[in-house]
Structure 1
Amino acid sequence: MEFQMHTDDELEHSSLLEDLFGETLLQLRVFQKKLATEGEQRGLIGPRDVDIIWERHILNSAAVVPFIEASVDENERFKTVADVGSGGGFPGIVVAACLPNFKITLIEPMERRVEWLNECVSELGLDNVTVLRERAENCVSDIKHKKGLHPFSVVTCRAVAPLTKLSGWTLPLLKHGGQLIALKGRSAPEELRKAGKEILKYGGCNPEVFDAPIAEGFEPTHVAIINKK
């Protein structure tokens, strides 16, 4: 089935965004506008993405939200999510806006991107977010040696690295019973197959790929989900 990309202008003149996001749409419109005016200049999105930010980046990121909600017991006291390699805020900023009752930690090593993320947190009024300038590998070490970080309920990532590398960067960040929920492309099943040894090495189990629907008429994305033993 062929899918046509929807422009930002088309989506703003439809009811879809309001239907999908409700009150959260106000915050996400701030994010979209900031990306449209500054994102390309600051190296966060490509020139071809400027007019399709909603579908390419925000709606794509939001597709992970139902999987995060389903992975955490609603009665769990500390609902914590780490977004590894947050970059321009995908999916971390979108997840934080959509899930205000979750504590979100954005992990990003590049100073200029950390500056961007902090600006987004401030301008969107997100009080459930911590931005951490650090490499994921160092966060793993901090958790291992109990240096102020605690294992997370969920770890997310988007367009960071193949699962052969991601497994070692992300699975050790999870508590027992937690989940890695990675937004991936069509190659996700092959990535899981290639990463089998690494997944087992770092305590992962039951790896699966799921279609992640965006909305009717939109091409679904995919999530790779790996449980932590």
Structure 2
Amino acid sequence: MDILLIGGLWLDASAWDDVVPELEALGHRAVPVALPGQGDGSASATLDDQVAAVLAAVDAADGTPLVVGHSAACTLAWLAADARPEKVGAVALVGGFPWDDGKLYADLFEITDGVMPFPGWGPFEGPDSADLSDAARTAFAEAAVPVPEAVARGVVHLVDERRFDVPVVVVCPEFTADQAKQWIDAGDVPELSRAEHVDLVDLDSGHWPMFTRPAELARLLAGAITR
């Protein structure tokens, strides 16, 4: 099966370089999605541009792909399910949850000169980054791509309730599956509270398992297909 990989904030498609061969070894075609404004030098990209890139990858996929979103890009994966509920076979959410309709995509940190740069490691101290070495932190910060303001402050639009029939697997790295279940049951994640098929799986890592646990992450994504 085709597995489409969408990186979160500040990541370009190379973030999946260690995961791709692991998925291919398991018999799947892995397709990192290049997001406009995150790696192509365009600070004028919009959230709609990123959604269009994801949908183009969905439309080009063989059969019904697994669409994987990491962190903020969990919303992008969910927007794909909303726009192509008949084409998306399943959605995997890594270290995050989808926003509901009307929310700003990722208005989380300060905007400077039209972009949202990586804010440094202060906001991510603790479980998020505990498994990253000093060298890995430095490499991440140096490679981080500032996110265009029109992406970060783009408005999420969800229109097709058939998205709730698309199976979802939540990969829980810096939080546990039990915690995620509590948040969903409490209504803190409205979109997943309404989804018909949600599985929760634990992964012992920080917020960026594509760097620290690529083989384990690949196995969980492959397992999401069999679910």
TM-score (structure 2 length as normaliser): 0.35
Rg (Cα) greater in structure? 1
Q: Which has the higher helix share?
A: 1
- Larger RCO (CA within 8 A; separation ≥ 6): 2
Q: Which has the higher strand share?
A: 1
TM-score (structure 1 length as normaliser): 0.35
